[in-house]
């Protein structure tokens, strides 16, 4: 851990560069002491200093000071991560990246935008909308989530089935490495390259362990003229996945596709009941609901919606949700982020217990099997099941990026430990099923070391990559390769 002498000297050196944009005040440091990952309600990991840089050059100077005094450097974006990726449990310098929030270039001819990595997805899209454009990588945390966080965490997007994850729309970035150097990685404004090694791809999902992303160039798209959303009920999760594959094989341009189990569906039936004071019609046989959206020209959207409904009802025996208000309520919470205070289980349920999840990537044909195992493992570790949501994050094919969500009682240490044991057992299940331990949260401080079960000897190669970018080991230490939670 950093010594008091080193912290004070670093503070003085940083003051010379940043003035009042660096602080050691406990009150300000408290704001950066945790993210949304389940922790005991009194837990905190205070960084030793907080710095707000505005430029890449300032981040370079910051890292050089950190190297001088052997201080950890931890980037902080929206703070909505669920894996402890920003936990400064070894102290050091917390880098508040939202000061890097400039739009550096909007290239309308080439449908490209270059931004500071601290700009939020929401703010970027507000700017792009003035030019009838949008950036389609849309995590549910987009009001707070920054472009740098999207890159660092490789999180999911509402529109992944059409546009993919962040890497599909990222063409280059600037990284300040643990050597205190700024390097540009990627392929400028081209969409792909076959020259050199793909170093930019290494940064996606690296959680700040290789360096701090300060700038990114992104592919943007024309705003669709219209969008429609519908919900369809199925007898099983596997049947819903097969039906989605059939829609894509038919040539339909699906804009988004999310499937929920029956428990997760209760969130939306609850909201409907609270708002309309009547029970929605959900048949007893329904074990899954598939929400689909289509976007584009109105006549194309109308055709796609009609063709989808005929395929799903005639070939798969699905039933379209009759209460469109319930579907619209789901879309309001999923995409528009419009919540009715005290009327929706999410986010008002967070007043009692906290949201936690195992985020597994699984083969698409094993959803029902995974659902059964989920219920068993959750019961074993005394987890209160919230439900299972299947996101689709690869363009034009059904995939399974799954949130196995539970409510976590954060009032006792035992409950928190049980949650992380639940995550560990679910993660081991994913590897057993030929999947991955994490599809959108990342390793954080929860899977480090334990992820050797998935990566085997290649984990040692990853450590060597880390050492190449960060030879002093100062960049977000304790993530990827270490954990405090798993015995």
Domain residue limits, the chain: 4-91, 100-222, 226-346, 352-468
- Give the whole-angstrom CA distance, residue 210 versus residue 116: 18
Confidence category of residue 326, pLDDT binned at 50, 70, 90: confident
pLDDT beyond 50 at 155: yes
pLDDT beyond 70 at 32: yes
- Share of residues in the chain with pLDDT > 90 (%): 86
- Residue range 129-144, pLDDT digits in tens: 999 999 999 999 999 9
Tell me, what's the pLDDT at 270?
67
pLDDT beyond 90 at 487: no
Mean pLDDT score of the chain, rounded to an integer? 93
CATH level 3 topology of 226-346? Alpha-Beta Plaits (3.30.70)
CATH level 3 topology of 4-91? 3.30.43
Tell me, what's the pLDDT at 349?
54
- Give the whole-angstrom CA distance, residue 298 versus residue 246: 23
Q: Compute the average pLDDT of residues 27-34.
A: 94
Confidence category of residue 73, pLDDT binned at 50, 70, 90: very high
Q: Compute the average pLDDT of residues 439-458.
A: 95
Stretch (H or E) spanning 137: none
> Do 352-468 and 226-346 fall under one CATH topology?
yes
Tell me, what's the pLDDT at 263?
86
CATH level 3 topology of 100-222? 3.30.465
pLDDT beyond 50 at 342: no
CATH architecture of 352-468: 2-Layer Sandwich (3.30)
Tell me, what's the pLDDT at 281?
77
Q: Compute the average pLDDT of residues 443-449.
A: 92
pLDDT beyond 70 at 56: yes
Spatial strand order of the sheet with 226-234 comes to 319-320, 226-234, 288-296, 256-261, 384-391, 401-408, 354-361
Q: Compute the average pLDDT of residues 170-178.
A: 98
Tell me, what's the pLDDT at 351?
61
Tell me, what's the pLDDT at 340?
59
Q: Compute the average pLDDT of residues 21-36.
A: 95
Is this prediction's pTM over 0.75?
A: yes
- Which DSSP string do the residues of 201-256 spell out, in sequence order? HHHTT-TTSSEEEEEEEEE-EEPPSEEEEEEEEES-HHHHHHHHHHHHHTT---SE
Q: Which of 215, 179, 210, 2 is nearest to 88 (CA)?
A: 2
């Amino acid at each position: 851990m950093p010594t008091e002498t080193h912290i004070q000297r670093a503070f003085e050196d940083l003051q010379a560069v940043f003035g009042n944009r660096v602080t050691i005040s406990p009150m300000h440091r408290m704001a950066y002491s945790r993210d949304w990952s389940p922790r005991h309600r009194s837990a905190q990991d205070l960084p030793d200093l907080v710095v707000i840089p505005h430029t890449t050059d300032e981040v370079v100077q910051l890292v050089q000071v950190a190297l001088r005094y052997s201080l950890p450097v931890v980037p902080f974006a929206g703070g909505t991560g669920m894996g402890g990726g920003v936990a400064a449990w070894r102290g050091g310098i917390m880098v508040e990246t939202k000061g890097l929030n400039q739009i550096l270039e909007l290239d309308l001819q080439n449908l490209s935008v270059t931004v500071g990595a601290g700009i939020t997805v929401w703010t970027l899209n507000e700017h792009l909308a003035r030019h009838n454009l949008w950036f389609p990588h849309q995590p549910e945390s987009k009001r707070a989530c920054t472009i740098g966080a999207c890159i660092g965490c490789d999180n999911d997007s509402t529109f992944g089935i059409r546009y993919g994850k962040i890497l599909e729309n990222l063409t280059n970035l600037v990284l300040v490495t643990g050597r205190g150097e700024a390097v540009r990685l990627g392929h400028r404004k081209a969409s792909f390259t076959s020259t050199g090694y793909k170093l930019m791809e290494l940064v996606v999902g690296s959680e700040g362990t290789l360096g701090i992303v300060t700038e990114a160039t992104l592919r943007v798209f024309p705003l669709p003229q219209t969008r429609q959303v519908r919900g369809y009920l199925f007898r099983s999760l596997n049947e819903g996945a097969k039906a989605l594959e059939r829609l894509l094989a038919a040539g339909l341009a699906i804009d988004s596709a999310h499937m929920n189990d029956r428990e997760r569906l209760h969130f939306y039936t609850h909201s409907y009941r609270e708002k309309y004071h009547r029970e929605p019609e959900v048949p007893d046989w329904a074990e899954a609901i598939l929400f689909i959206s289509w976007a584009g020209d109105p006549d194309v959207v109308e055709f796609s919606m009609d063709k989808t409904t005929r395929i799903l009802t005639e070939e798969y025996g699905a039933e379209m949700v009759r209460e469109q208000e319930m579907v619209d309520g789901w879309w309001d919470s999923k995409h528009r982020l419009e919540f009715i205070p005290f009327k929706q289980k999410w986010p008002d349920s967070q007043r009692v217990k906290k949201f936690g999840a195992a985020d597994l990537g699984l083969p698409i044909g094993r959803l029902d099997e995974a659902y059964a195992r989920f219920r068993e493992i959750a019961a074993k570790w005394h987890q209160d099941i919230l439900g299972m949501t299947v996101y689709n994050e690869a363009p034009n094919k059904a995939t399974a990026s799954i949130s196995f969500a539970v409510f976590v009682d954060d009032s006792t240490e035992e409950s928190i430990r049980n949650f992380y044991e639940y995550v560990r057992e679910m993660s081991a299940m994913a590897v057993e099923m030929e999947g991955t331990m994490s599809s959108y949260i990342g390793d954080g401080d929860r899977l480090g070391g334990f992820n050797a079960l998935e990566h085997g000897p290649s984990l040692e190669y990853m450590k060597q990559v880390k050492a190449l970018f960060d030879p002093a080991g100062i960049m977000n230490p304790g993530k990827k390769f270490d954990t405090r939670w798993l015995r």
